[in-house]
């Protein structure tokens, strides 16, 4: 705990035999990326076996070599797609290059994987451990014990575990904390728990109410991010179900929740569900389509976040073997199809060339693999401490530990700017109540705060 800059060098890796199931222990990004390069963690946790991503794990140099391609089951094309033209944001554009940023460790949090604040004036930051715990960090001090521990009902390891958390918009008046986790059977559960003591106390593990369950056909690509939008609805990220190349075609199907971002009303229940369907969800009137769907054509949306100023929804969608992408759904724009598995980034995926791009929303940014491997989507900076960062969308690559920035406002494609580099294992971004930015590192187990080198 304490404010030293995170060392740029990797912690010495513990070598394990190739093909050992332990290779993927604690390593979310391995399977996230579908790339088996480059990550190693000393964190002990159950490994995923039988995962297409696990078997081909390469010996894990820090970031020296391009990822192997255990998911190379589908064609990879090079056909470039036209740039996107999203509606102009109402928020002023950042002008000029972004400043360099640094990350200071704030607290040690084992297998840190998700960050949320309770927006209740307490300035608490809640951090989820992949292994099933939720911790509170306040003024740089982490709680001695977790405020919630659901290790008894989850599967953790690889891309599984406690993956997301979000507080109800009216917290603590509505005392619910929502979580997304992988259950003992490997399926996705989104549920709520009640925070006791008027929101100040621990979370009651017996108060769980399941909101939605989703069967997972493969261990990887579980998505898992949760956030409430400015409209008060709960948004949930689900990957395409896993394996490689989307063998079930879930990304482009509307009869499944896989490969989607959902939008649910958790303040009502209807149709035999534990939630309501917002009447303006894009597919409510389409026969055969799941009415929960808000956005489609996603492979493994590994972290999304709302711009607190504009309401735009920013997504980091993990690519197959070649291209990581940033997608944006401008405020209120539902029904967008981000292309997977017809496209990966700005390129055709299946087929490898000449793919049909009509009706697809292209990314706003992409970057290539090798040694980069897996995007961790972030947040648009709207804090007060660093005006130089205002209006910048920050995100990271899991393998290299690079931090990137792009301008959030404006139309069309933009190139990511490298603004910093920490260590591999960046698993999530989050904001405090003032909009200052934090990152979590699952491989090394810490929460860090982002600062700019110039105000
Ligand atoms: Ca896409």
In this structure, is residue 72 part of a structural domain?
Answer: no
User: Are the C-beta atoms of residues 452 and 386 closer than 8 Å to each other?
Assistant: yes
Give me the pLDDT at residue 93, please: 61
> Residue 76 to residues 37, 43, 299, 320, 322: CA-CA distances in angstroms?
18, 33, 15, 9, 8
What are the structure tokens assigned to 124, written together? 């608490």
Residue 199 lies in a domain: yes
Centre of ligand 1 to C-alpha 326, Å, is 8
Of 365, 449, 377, the closest CA to residue 406 belongs to 365
Q: Find the 383 Cα to ligand 1 centroid distance in Å.
A: 29
Cα-to-centroid distance, 295 and ligand 1 (Å)? 11
Q: What is the predicted pLDDT for the residue at 91?
A: 52
For ligand 1, the distance from its centroid to the CA atom of residue 144, given in whole angstroms, is 41
Ligand 1 centroid – CA 435 distance (Å): 28
pTM of the predicted structure, to 2 decimals: 0.83
Nearest to 240 by CA among 34, 83, 21: 34
Strand pairing class (347-348; 392-397): unpaired
Q: How much distance in Å is there from the Cα of 325 to the middle of ligand 1?
A: 7
Cα(341) to centroid of ligand 1, in Å?
Answer: 8
Each residue's pLDDT, cut to its tens digit, for the chain (455 residues) gives 333 333 332 233 333 333 333 333 334 443 344 333 323 332 323 222 223 332 222 222 222 222 222 222 222 233 344 433 333 334 556 778 999 999 999 999 999 999 999 999 999 999 999 999 999 999 999 999 999 999 999 999 999 999 999 999 999 999 999 999 999 999 999 999 999 999 998 999 999 999 999 999 999 999 999 999 999 999 999 999 999 999 999 999 999 999 999 999 999 999 999 999 999 999 999 999 999 999 999 999 999 999 999 999 999 999 999 999 999 999 999 999 999 999 999 999 999 999 999 999 999 999 999 999 999 999 999 999 999 999 999 999 999 999 999 999 999 999 999 999 999 999 999 999 999 999 999 999 999 999 999 99
Q: Which residues contact 358 (CB under 8 A, 6 or more apart)?
A: none
What are the CA-CA distances from residue 226 to residues 172, 327, 411, 430 (Å)?
18, 16, 26, 12
Q: For position 96, what pLDDT does the model report?
A: 85
239 C-alpha to ligand 1 centroid (Å): 12
**Rounded to the nearest whole angstrom, what is the distance from the C-alpha of residue 147 to the centroid of ligand 1?**
37
Omega within 30 of 0 (cis) for the link into 371 = yes
CATH code for position 199:
2.120.10.30
- Angle value at C-alpha 134, between 167 and 27, nearest 5 degrees: 115
User: Quick one: which of 189, 172, 54, 48 has its CA closest to 120?
Assistant: 172
Cβ neighbours, 10 Å, residue 46:
17
d(CA 298, ligand 1 centre) in Å: 6
Model pLDDT, residue 306? 98
* Domain-located, residue 314: yes
Is residue 204 a part of any domain in this protein?
Answer: yes
Q: Is the peptide bond before 80 cis (omega within 30 degrees of 0)?
A: no
How far is the centre of ligand 1, averaged over its atoms, from the C-alpha of 380 (Å)?
A: 20
Would residue 19 count as lying in a domain? no
- Rounded to whole angstroms, the Cα distance separating 455 from 381 reads 13
Among residues 139, 151, 138, the alpha carbon closest in space to that of 110 is found at 151
Q: How far apart are the C-alpha atoms of 400 and 406, rounded to whole Å?
A: 18
Residues near ion ligand 1 (Cβ under 5 Å) = 338-340
Burial of 165: CB neighbours in 10 Å, binned 0-12, 13-18, 19+: buried
**Would you say how long the chain is, in residues?**
455
Q: Minimal CA–CA distance to 338: which of 428, 237, 406?
A: 237
Whole-angstrom distance, CA of residue 102 vs CA of residue 239 = 30
**Helix, strand and coil in the chain, % to nearest 5:** 5, 35, 60
Question: Which runs of E-coded beta strand occur in 25-142?
Answer: 101-108, 112-117, 125-129, 133-138, 141-142
For residue 217, being part of any structural domain is answered with: yes
For residue 138, report the distance from its CA to the centre of ligand 1, in Å: 37
Query: How many angstroms separate the alpha carbon of residue 290 from the centre of ligand 1?
Result: 20
Euclidean distance between CA atoms 173 and 181, whole angstroms: 24
Query: How far is the centre of ligand 1, averaged over its atoms, from the C-alpha of 61 (Å)?
Result: 29
Distance from the alpha carbon of residue 410 to the mean position of ligand 1, in angstroms: 19
DSSP string computed for 159-210:
TBSEEEEEE-TTTTTS-EEEEEEEBTTS-EEEEEEEESTTTTS-EEEEEEEE
Q: What is the pLDDT of residue 215?
A: 98
Residue 368 CA to ligand 1 centre (angstroms): 14
Query: Which residues contact residue 128 at a Cβ distance below 8 angstroms, ignoring those fewer than 6 apart?
Result: 112, 113, 114, 115, 116, 134, 135, 162, 163, 164, 165, 179
How far, in Å, is the centroid of ligand 1 from the Cα of 17? Answer: 35
Q: Could you tell me the residue range of the domain that residue 184 belongs to?
A: 111-384
Query: CB–CB of 112/164 below 8 Å?
Result: no
Distance from the CA of 184 to the center of ligand 1, in angstroms?
A: 30
Measured in Å, residue 455 CA sits from the centre of ligand 1 at 34
Give me ligand 1 centre to Cα 64, in Å: 27
Give the separation between CA 387 and CA 47, rounded to whole angstroms: 42
Burial (CB count within 10 angstroms: exposed 0-12, middle 13-18, buried 19+), residue 15: exposed
In a domain, residue 351? The reply is: yes
Domain count for the chain, please give it: 1
- Whole-angstrom CA distances from 196 to 44, 148, 405 are 31, 11, 39
Q: How many Å lie between the centroid of ligand 1 and the Cα of residue 291? A: 21
C-alpha span between 77 and 406 (Å, rounded):
25
Give residue 415 CA to ligand 1 midpoint distance, Å: 16
Beta-strand (E) ranges in 335-401?
343-344, 347-348, 365-368, 375-380, 392-397
CA of 91 to the centre of ligand 1 (A): 24
Any domain includes 222:
yes
Check residue 47 and give its pLDDT. Answer: 27
Separation of CA 343 and ligand 1 centre (Å): 6
């Amino acid at each position: 705990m304490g404010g030293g800059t995170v060392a740029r060098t990797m912690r010495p890796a513990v070598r394990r035999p190739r093909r050992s199931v332990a290779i993927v222990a604690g390593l979310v990004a391995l399977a996230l990326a579908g790339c088996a390069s480059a990550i190693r963690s000393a964190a002990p946790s159950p490994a995923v076996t039988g995962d297409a991503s696990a078997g081909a794990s390469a010996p894990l140099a820090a970031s020296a070599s391009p990822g192997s391609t255990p998911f190379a089951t589908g064609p990879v094309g090079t056909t470039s797609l036209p740039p996107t033209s999203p509606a102009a944001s109402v928020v002023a554009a950042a002008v000029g290059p972004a400043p360099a940023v640094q990350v200071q460790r704030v607290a040690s949090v084992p297998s840190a994987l998700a960050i949320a604040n309770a927006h209740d004036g307490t300035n608490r930051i809640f951090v989820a451990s992949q292994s099933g715990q939720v911790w509170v960090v306040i003024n740089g001090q982490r709680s001695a014990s977790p405020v919630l521990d659901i290790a008894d009902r989850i599967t953790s390891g690889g891309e599984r575990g406690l993956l997301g958390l979000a507080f109800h918009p009216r917290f603590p008046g509505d005392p619910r904390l929502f979580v997304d986790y992988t259950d003992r059977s490997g399926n996705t559960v989104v549920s709520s728990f009640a925070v006791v003591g008027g929101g100040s106390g621990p979370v009651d593990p017996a108060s769980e109410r399941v909101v939605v369950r989703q069967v997972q056909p493969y261990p990887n690509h579980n998505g898992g991010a949760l956030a409430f939008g400015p409209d008060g609805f709960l948004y949930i990220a689900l990957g395409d179900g896993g394996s490689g190349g989307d063998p079930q075609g879930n990304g482009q199907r509307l009869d499944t929740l896989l490969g989607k971002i959902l939008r649910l009303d958790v303040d009502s229940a209807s149709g035999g569900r534990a939630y309501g369907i917002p009447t303006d969800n894009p597919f409510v009137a389409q026969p055969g389509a799941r009415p929960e769907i808000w956005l489609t054509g996603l492979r493994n949306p590994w972290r999304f976040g709302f711009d607190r100023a504009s309401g735009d929804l920013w997504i980091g969608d993990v690519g197959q073997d070649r291209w990581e992408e940033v997608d944006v759904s401008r405020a209120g724009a539902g029904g967008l199809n981000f292309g997977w598995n017809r496209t990966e980034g700005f390129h055709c995926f299946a087929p490898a060339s000449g793919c049909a791009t009509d009706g697809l929303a292209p990314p706003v940014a992409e970057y290539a693999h090798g040694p980069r491997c897996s995007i961790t989507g972030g947040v648009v900076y709207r804090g007060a401490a660093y005006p130089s960062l205002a209006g910048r969308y920050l995100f990271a690559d899991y393998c290299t530990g690079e931090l990137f920035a792009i301008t959030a406002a404006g139309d069309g494609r933009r190139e990511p700017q490298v603004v910093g580099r920490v260590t591999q294992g960046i698993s999530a971004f989050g904001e405090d109540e003032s909009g200052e930015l934090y990152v979590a590192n699952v491989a090394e187990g810490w929460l860090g705060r982002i600062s700019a080198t110039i105000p």
